[in-house]
């Protein structure tokens, strides 16, 4: 579980990121989860976006992806969300 200070730090890092995980009308599939896990292992912090053609709520989608990918949901703003998971091989981000 992340503290408030750690979430603020991660939000500041995620501010400049471009969304690399796009969720469309098929919503959360096994392929989306695999893509999120691979991206989290490589980058530790990723930004995702729920597209307009997705019927479900972005908050619910982000929580489901975070749960299934064993990641921390840092933030949801509008249709964008940030996920964080420490890399098991080479940690890059040092939390305060």
Q: Is residue 94 part of a domain?
A: no
CATH code at position 31: 3.30.110.60
The set of residues, in sequence order, having a beta carbon less than 8 Å from that of 67 and lying 6+ positions away, is: none
Residue 23 in this model has a pLDDT that exceeds 90: yes
Domain that holds residue 15: 4-84
Q: Is residue 95 part of a domain?
A: no
Residue 65 in this model has a pLDDT that exceeds 90: yes
Residue 11 in this model has a pLDDT that exceeds 90: yes
pLDDT at 76: 97
Residue 1 in this model has a pLDDT that exceeds 90: no
Residue 89 in this model has a pLDDT that exceeds 90: no
How many independent structural domains does the chain possess? 1
Q: Is residue 89 part of a domain?
A: no
Q: Is residue 91 part of a domain?
A: no
Residue 90 in this model has a pLDDT that exceeds 90: no
The arithmetic mean of pLDDT across residues 11-38, rounded, is 95
The set of residues, in sequence order, having a beta carbon less than 8 Å from that of 19 and lying 6+ positions away, is: 47, 48, 49, 80
What is the pTM for the complete model shown?
0.93
Q: Is residue 90 part of a domain?
A: no
């Amino acid at each position: 579980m992340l503290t408030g200070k750690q979430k603020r730090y991660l939000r500041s890092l995620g501010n400049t990121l471009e969304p690399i995980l796009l969720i469309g009308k098929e919503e959360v599939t096994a392929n989306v989860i695999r893509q999120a896990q691979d991206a989290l292992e490589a980058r530790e912090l990723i930004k995702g976006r729920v597209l307009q053609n997705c019927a479900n709520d972005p908050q619910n989608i982000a929580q489901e992806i975070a749960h299934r990918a064993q990641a921390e949901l840092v933030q949801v703003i509008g249709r964008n969300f940030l996920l964080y998971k420490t890399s098991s091989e080479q940690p890059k981000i040092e939390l305060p």
